[in-house]
Amino acid sequence: MNDINNKDIENILDKAGPRIKPEQQVRDEVYKEVHKMWLATHRSPFYKTPVFKIAASLFLLISVFSFTLLNQSDQPIYNIAQSIEAQGQIQINHNNKGWRNLGNEKVISSGDSIKTLKNDRLLVNLFNGNQFRVDENTHLKIESNNHLLLLSGRIYIDSGSTSEDHKLSIETPFAEVNHIGTQYSVSFIDDELSIGVRDGLVLIKGDDVVQSEVKKGKSYLLKSNGMVSYADIKPYDSMWQWTQKISSDFLIQDRSLSDYLDWVSSETGYPIKWESVTVRNKAKSIKLSGSINDIQPIDSLDVILPTTRFKYSLSDNQIYIHNENG
């Protein structure tokens, strides 16, 4: 290409107007193509021909595409979490910008990755009504407000609704897990997918997995060799105990004793057994005060019950509530 041609090409690009500069390789290729088109016109007023308009449009398209790629990381961050409770130093990666502590900003958005180490746990209440808890030594990615990717570790889902807005899918390296209004756990540890259903129904599907349903009181285990096994599981089984270590705080101020005990039952899996209908009705009228933040639900019974006219005992895997003199 001679000097005169170079100047002509530069003039042509100037006539196309200012554009955001793409990568040099893309710029060079476009430059060469424009030069070939110039030669084909036999030095006619190229900028007046349809060929120039096509070249300018092509250049503009490439520029816009390059600008989009360069600025993907600058898109607004939308928080999908209504509330977040963190235990320890939770690691988060916003838009592949590097790992850092979640800190006080308490923002989680689609595309974020989350890691917990030993003794680190996380509880997230989503705006769509679902709640998920993250155990220690877990790595997951937030694909969207209703789609999580569990890479390793263990999470617990609590959703009390079957409506479309409350749908949540958990993707794992082996299969995808969906639920219908339930409490359940999903773990992927040592190349084994384990699911326990505390309440409700869970659906499992995958390209290399037979579609399955796991009902309340059942656990599901899928090994790397494709073997599947089921077992019975109680709502108070030891596999649920870790969830109490990062349970959602119950604001007891001006709440009834009955409401509080319902919460304890939901968190521990132990059903409430009343000494009598009279005791149960009285519990509805007793208002509580104070705080039980940072106290595990099962342990909070020793804090709350002494302030009432009732006592409790844990027997036959039930929380037995009776009169103080009973």
221 token code pair: 């285990």
Judge whether 205 lies within some domain: yes
- pLDDT tens digits, 233-291: 999 999 999 999 998 888 999 999 999 999 999 999 999 999 999 999 999 999 999 99
Provide the pLDDT for residue 170: 96
Judge whether 273 lies within some domain: yes
Judge whether 76 lies within some domain: no
79 token code pair: 């928080």
CA 225 to chain centre: 28
- Domain of 176, CATH number, reads 2.60.120.1440
8 Å CB contact between 186 and 154:
yes
Q: Which of 135, 200, 132 is nearest to 168 (CA)?
A: 132
Provide the pLDDT for residue 8: 62
Instruction: Please report, as a single letter, which amino acid is at residue 71.
Output: N
Of the three residues 18, 40, 70, the one that is the final residue of a domain is 70
Query: Around Cβ 196, how many Cβ atoms within 10 Å?
Result: 24
SS3 193: strand
Judge whether 47 lies within some domain: yes
Same structural domain for residues 88 and 49? Answer: no
Same structural domain for residues 231 and 133? Answer: yes
DSSP secondary structure string for all residues of 270-310: PPEEES-HHHHHHHHHPBP-S--TTS-HHHHHHHHGGGSSE
Provide the pLDDT for residue 31: 55
Same structural domain for residues 221 and 283? Answer: no
Same structural domain for residues 133 and 26? Answer: no
Judge whether 288 lies within some domain: yes
What H or E segment, with its residue span, contains residue 228?
Answer: strand 228-232
Query: Rounded CA gap, 78 and 228, in Å?
Result: 39
8 Å CB contact between 192 and 222:
yes
Same structural domain for residues 39 and 65? Answer: yes
Query: Rounded CA gap, 305 and 301, in Å?
Result: 6
Provide the pLDDT for residue 129: 86
Provide the pLDDT for residue 296: 93
- Domain of 296, CATH number, reads 3.55.50.30
Same structural domain for residues 104 and 221? Answer: yes
8 Å CB contact between 38 and 12:
yes
Of the three residues 172, 207, 240, the one that is the final residue of a domain is 240
The percent of the chain in helix, strand and coil, each rounded to the nearest 5, is 30, 35, 35
Provide the pLDDT for residue 19: 45
Q: In the chain, how many domains are there? A: 3
The 8-class DSSP code of residue 244 comes to G
Same structural domain for residues 264 and 132? Answer: no
Query: Around Cβ 19, how many Cβ atoms within 10 Å?
Result: 16
Judge whether 95 lies within some domain: yes
Same structural domain for residues 299 and 191? Answer: no
Of the three residues 211, 240, 269, the one that is the final residue of a domain is 240
Provide the pLDDT for residue 41: 55
What H or E segment, with its residue span, contains residue 13?
Answer: helix 3-15
Provide the pLDDT for residue 70: 44
DSSP secondary structure string for all residues of 121-137: EEEEEETTS-EEEE-SS
The pTM assigned to this predicted structure is 0.74
Same structural domain for residues 235 and 119? Answer: yes
Judge whether 163 lies within some domain: yes
Same structural domain for residues 96 and 29? Answer: no
pLDDT, one tens digit for every residue, the chain (326 residues): 445 556 565 555 554 444 444 555 555 665 566 556 655 554 545 445 555 555 555 555 555 444 444 444 444 567 889 999 999 999 999 877 899 998 877 889 999 999 999 999 999 999 888 999 999 999 999 999 899 999 999 999 998 655 555 688 999 999 999 988 789 999 999 999 999 999 999 999 999 899 999 999 999 999 999 999 999 999 999 999 999 999 888 899 999 999 999 999 999 999 999 999 999 999 999 999 999 988 999 999 999 999 998 999 999 999 999 988 75
Same structural domain for residues 121 and 158? Answer: yes
Range of 15's domain?
3-70
SS3 15: helix
Judge whether 75 lies within some domain: no
Same structural domain for residues 200 and 316? Answer: no
Query: Rounded CA gap, 112 and 97, in Å?
Result: 10
